[in-house]
A and B are shown apart, each in its own frame.
Chain A
Amino acid sequence: MATKTTPQDIETTVMQSLAQFGADPDALTREATLEEVDVDSLDLVELTQVVEDAYDIDLENADFKKVKTVGDVIDLVVERVG
Chain B
Amino acid sequence: MTLRDVVITGVGAVTPLGVGARVLHERWTAGACGIRDGEAPCTDFTVTDHLTSKEARRADRSTQLAITAGDEALADAGWADELPYDPELIGCVLGTGIGGISTLENNHDSLHNHDSLRDSGPGAVSPLAVPLMMSNAGSAALSLRHRLRGPVFSVVSACAAGSHAIGTALRMIQHGEAEAMVTGGAEAPLTPLSRAAFGNMNALSPSGISRPFDARRDGFVMGESAGVLVLENGDSARARGARILGTLRGYGSTGDAHHITAPHKEGRGGARAMSIALSDSGLTPEDVDYVNAHGTSTQLNDRAETLALKLALGERAAQIPVSSTKSAIGHLLGAAGAVEAVATLLALRDRIAPPTIGWEEPDDGLDLDYVPGAARPLKMSNGRPPIALSNSFGFGGHNATLCLQAA
B384 at the interface (CB under 8 A from A): no
A57 at the interface (CB under 8 A from B): no
Choice from A23, A38, A46 contacting B128 with Cβ under 8 Å: A46
B118 at the interface (CB under 8 A from A): yes
Choice from B53, B123, B126, B131 contacting A22 with Cβ under 8 Å: B53
A64 at the interface (CB under 8 A from B): no
**Chain A residues within an 8 Å CB radius of B175:** none
Main SS of chain A's interface residues?
Answer: helix
**Chain B residues within an 8 Å CB radius of A45:** 127
- Give min CB distance, A23 to chain B, whole Å: 8
**Chain A residues within an 8 Å CB radius of B128:** 42, 46
**Chain B residues within an 8 Å CB radius of A49:** 123, 126-127
A63 at the interface (CB under 8 A from B): no
- Give min CB distance, B116 to chain A, whole Å: 13
- Give min CB distance, B59 to chain A, whole Å: 11
Cβ contacts B106-130/A at 8 Å (1 or 0 each): 0000000000001100010011100
- Report the nearest B residue to A43, measured CB to CB: B54
Q: Which of A21, A23, A52 has the most CB of B within 10 A?
A: A21
**Chain A residues within an 8 Å CB radius of B147:** none
In the complex, are the beta carbons of B127 and A22 less than 8 A apart? no
**Chain A residues within an 8 Å CB radius of B123:** 49, 52-53
In the complex, are the beta carbons of B118 and A53 less than 8 A apart? yes
- Give min CB distance, A76 to chain B, whole Å: 18
Q: How many residues of B contact A (CB 8 A)?
A: 13
B238 at the interface (CB under 8 A from A): no
In the complex, are the beta carbons of B54 and A38 less than 8 A apart? yes
Cβ contacts A33-46/B at 8 Å (1 or 0 each): 00000100010011
B57 at the interface (CB under 8 A from A): yes
- Give min CB distance, B224 to chain A, whole Å: 23
Choice from A23, A38, A42 contacting B127 with Cβ under 8 Å: A42
Q: How many residues of A contact B (CB 8 A)?
A: 10
B200 at the interface (CB under 8 A from A): no
In the complex, are the beta carbons of B54 and A46 less than 8 A apart? no
In the complex, are the beta carbons of A22 and B119 less than 8 A apart? no
B52 at the interface (CB under 8 A from A): yes
- Report the nearest B residue to A41, measured CB to CB: B127
**Chain A residues within an 8 Å CB radius of B57:** 21-22
A45 to B130, CA, bound (A): 13
Cβ contacts B129-147/A at 8 Å (1 or 0 each): 0010000000000000000
A45 to B58, CA, bound (A): 13
Cβ contacts B53-70/A at 8 Å (1 or 0 each): 111011000000000000
Cβ contacts A41-72/B at 8 Å (1 or 0 each): 01001100100110000000000000000000
Given A22-B52, A22-B57, A46-B126, A53 contacting B131 (CB threshold 8 A): no
**Chain B residues within an 8 Å CB radius of A42:** 58, 127-128, 131
**Chain A residues within an 8 Å CB radius of B54:** 21-23, 38
List B residues 75-119 near A (Cβ within 8 Å).
118-119
- Give min CB distance, A42 to chain B, whole Å: 6
Closest CB pairs A-B (n = 4): A22-B54, A45-B127, A22-B53, A46-B127
- Taking Cβ atoms with an 8 Å cutoff, the residues of B that contact A are 52-55, 57-58, 118-119, 123, 126-128, 131
9 A-B pairs whose Cβ atoms sit less than 8 Å apart in the complex: A21-B57, A22-B55, A23-B54, A38-B54, A45-B127, A46-B127, A49-B123, A49-B126, A53-B123
- Taking Cβ atoms with an 8 Å cutoff, the residues of A that contact B are 21-23, 38, 42, 45-46, 49, 52-53
A42-B128, A45-B127, A53-B118 known; 4 new pairs, CB 8 Å cut-off, are: A22-B52, A23-B54, A46-B126, A53-B123
